[in-house]
Structure 1
């Protein structure tokens, strides 16, 4: 298993994994990911903020990071944190605790970049994800109603989000 930055050559696979994740979300939840703009992912790749876990030369999982997320985290955004977004797992690798691998990597990544927290969010009040992320070591900080979602992906419009944080 290796964690690497995604490259432009990975774009089709990243979007395939997003589609699989979105299709799954549609079977379980009322809120699901929209179709993300290709330019968003290209920018993340160019800025070395799009990541992948590679196992046996296959992309097992992808996610994106940022060091600032003010529209979701509000005043807490001033805290030194790394924010994780859009974790999507290849179905061939489910059940391999890949989020836990991201957490382990994230702790070192945060420390290397002078951050004190790893944070993530999910849209809505999803007891299953709340339980899962707390089992991965995150503290559930509660629900937050987003106020200004201009510039965020469509699933954040008029949304309430579940906020998660882990100290490093």
Structure 2
């Protein structure tokens, strides 16, 4: 996902995703896949996250959402619109291998393009870092494709540093981490 313009961090309190959020999470991901593909950004290829995988991850308690306040309380029980999402893990062998260093791992950080520039991405990173500190872990970790230098610069501008790469055969991801001694933006 491309970086947001540099703005002060908004304060957010994500809520755990519910089964009714699966379609909204998947739709947000698809819209961002399309947006990136239309601009030549190589991060999430179209269709790379099946709805069924999102449903499994939501059921496992991995997804957190920021509802779009303008759409809360929709009549008829229809799905709520989402301003942003983040997926948190306590281990990430798919990207970090058998590294057992206590950390919080960030995936699925998405901000609806209508909310771009609101500081939601930075706020979610701050929130994820706070979750890690509250859990007593010393690191926050994430990754991005090496083919997305703008996103890497965004994360490095937020204090993350590259510590390795993971070659998946079809693409390579850079692995980034940040100690959790202070705010994620420090």
- Common fold by TM > 0.5: yes
Higher strand proportion:
1
Higher helix proportion:
1
Q: Which residue of 2 aligns with 1:161?
A: 173
From 85, 90, 106, the counterpart of 1:62: 85
The 3 A distance-change label for structure 1 pair 89 and 78 is: same
How far apart are residue 55 of structure 1 and its match?
4.2
Map 1:7-156 to 2 at 5 A.
Answer: 7-26=18-37, 27-30=39-42, 32-35=44-47, 36-56=49-69, 57=72, 58-75=81-98, 77-146=99-168
| RMSD of aligned alpha carbons | 1.9
Unaligned 5+ runs, structure 2: 1-11, 73-80, 181-186
Secondary structure (helix, strand or coil) at the match of 1:2 reads coil
Distance 2:16 2:144 in 1: 23
The 3 A distance-change label for structure 1 pair 22 and 101 is: same
Secondary structure (helix, strand or coil) at the match of 1:137 reads coil
TM-score (ref. length: structure 1): 0.83
Contact 2:26 2:54 in 1 (8 A): no
Deviations 1:57-97 (A, max 9, x none): 3421112121111231125x211011111222111111011
Higher relative contact order (CA 8 A, sep 6+): 2
Unaligned 5+ runs, structure 1: 147-156
Structure of greater Rg? 2
